[in-house]
A and B are shown apart, each in its own frame.
Chain A
Amino acid sequence: MPPSFPSLDDLRSTVEQTSAAAWSAAYSLLWEAAMRVARCRLSGSEHEHDREDAVSTAIQQVVRGVIENSTDSFNQIQTFDDVLGMTRHIVRLRITDLLRSKERRPEDVVEELPELVDATPNDLRFNLAELLTEVDHLQPDPPVPQVFRDRFVEGWSTDEIAARRSINRNTLLSHFAKGFRTLRDRLTRLEGALP
């Protein structure tokens, strides 16, 4: 059962009690959304503090922006989904800034991902729970579901996964490539089955 999102009116409320309650509910959702981006783009245990800093700073900016509502970007926010999108966008920018200042291995520099022009529409968005279920079904390579979870849920880097699971790095990259291919096929079939 997905959690209900707080209303934008409550988040922008100037009544302390209403504001506090709405943001209390929002923090955990924003934190998870931002942290997922951070774990995807800045993987590796050694970056745990960097991820936390980036996420915390991004959400602070969003909190101020939503409440003060004084810039064009934040004026355009209409729903909590927009707030989530803005949070993800800011944390991506912050991580890109961070990555630019550090030399990293190519496979971990997800800043090179091409930016999608438009955000994914809600009805086409993958549900992570469904996606991970599909990952668990990835066959015939037993480590594939685990390495996907290691990377995208736990935030481990490619090198960390290779070391912790005693898999050759290139073999691991092959697992990822094969896993993505299988995942794409399965999701395409699922979408094709929809009315």
Chain B
Amino acid sequence: MNHDDPFVENADLVRAIEDAPPRGDIAIPSHALFVLERARRDALQAKGVASPVVVSMDKPGLPSVLSATSDRSSYAGGSRSNLLRWAAILVALGVVTWFVLPRGTPPANVAHTFPSANVALTFPPANVALTSPPANVALTSPTANVALTSSTANVALTSPTANVALTSPTATISDTQPVIAWTSKDKPDQKYDVWILPAEGDYLKAPTLFIAKGVKSPVAFASMKPGKDVADTALKAGIDYRVLICLADAGRMAGVPVSFTVKPAPAP
């Protein structure tokens, strides 16, 4: 420790400044406000409270990054476009249900894992590609393609899946060596495999950029190993990636990839 450093020598005063009661007079950036609201809705959904996730029609794959006001009006269902959206969702759900409902004796696993009401609320309309769902939604709901067309539907529905909510990296970060962190509802000693993958392509087959196996949250980026033929030691600014967290040794099927972006470096 540097004893000539006035900040270290006066740590208690610095700490007092840090801990001073807030007055709420620092403006929150609107993008941050939206991220916080999304976290709140995710948490409510995790508690089993139906709280609709609004999916942006103008930017597929991400929830609407609009002001809180517009989000509130969205879930009040006040506008005509929202009514149409909900109608489309209900129709899509009806079609999915018709296909999925068992005709004879249903396999127990299908009946057991059939989407709940919350899933229905977050189900995207057919023309919306929900590529970055909140972890708790995606982890418990099959996608339309799986339910309708995949012969491996039973595998997807019944495979053990990491019950985690990613807390870092967030949707957009500036750190090229982010800490990977998540909260988990799995058993306390559960270990996970973590991949960082390219933003594009099937996440089950996408080349590994970085990987950490048998780890618990948080995972320092430095502890991740680069994938085959990857010479980088950090992420690249201005590039989109996906992070995938799965139960250890259960393969990539046991998780859902979440997209994030590394901000471009500011111009000098």
Residues of A within 8 A of B (CB): 2-3, 14, 16, 19-20, 23-25, 27-33, 35-37, 40-41, 49-50, 52-53, 55-57, 59-61, 63-68, 70, 84, 88, 94, 97-98, 100-101, 106-107, 110, 112-114, 116, 119-120, 125-129, 131, 152, 173, 176-177, 179-180, 183-184, 187
Residue among B17, B32, B168 with the highest chain A CB neighbour number at 10 A: B17
The distance in angstroms between the C-alpha atoms of A61 and B13, with both chains bound, is: 27
Q: Which of A32, A56, A57, A107 contacts B5 (CB 8 A)?
A: A107
The distance in angstroms between the C-alpha atoms of A14 and B48, with both chains bound, is: 9
CB closest chain-A residue, reference B170: A57
Q: Which of A24, A116, A128 contacts B20 (CB 8 A)?
A: A128
The distance in angstroms between the C-alpha atoms of A86 and B170, with both chains bound, is: 19
Q: Which of B83-91, B146-154, B177-185 contacts A (4 or more CB under 8 A)?
A: B177-185
Chain B, interface residues (CB within 8 Å), range: 35 or more
Cβ–Cβ contact B13 & A183, under 8 A: yes
Residue among A65, A100, A101, A129 with the highest chain B CB neighbour number at 10 A: A101
Write the nearest CB–CB distance from A83 to chain B, whole angstroms: 11
CB closest chain-B residue, reference A22: B40
Write the nearest CB–CB distance from A13 to chain B, whole angstroms: 9
The distance in angstroms between the C-alpha atoms of A16 and B220, with both chains bound, is: 36
B166-189 vs A, CB cutoff 8 Å, 1 = contact: the mask equals 011010011101010101010000
Given contacts A14-B44, A110-B7, A3 and B23 within 8 Å (CB-CB): yes
Given the complex, which residues of A lie within 8 Å of B12, measured CB to CB?
116
Where chain A touches its partner, the secondary structure class is: helix
Q: How many A-B residue pairs have CB under 8 A?
A: 179
Residues of B within 8 A of A (CB): 1-2, 4-29, 32-33, 35-37, 39-40, 42-44, 46-47, 49, 51, 68, 72, 75, 165, 167-168, 170, 173-175, 177, 179, 181, 183, 185, 218, 220-222, 263
Cβ–Cβ contact A176 & B7, under 8 A: yes
Given the complex, which residues of B lie within 8 Å of A173, measured CB to CB?
4-6
Cβ–Cβ contact A29 & B17, under 8 A: no
Given the complex, which residues of A lie within 8 Å of B44, measured CB to CB?
14, 16, 19, 67
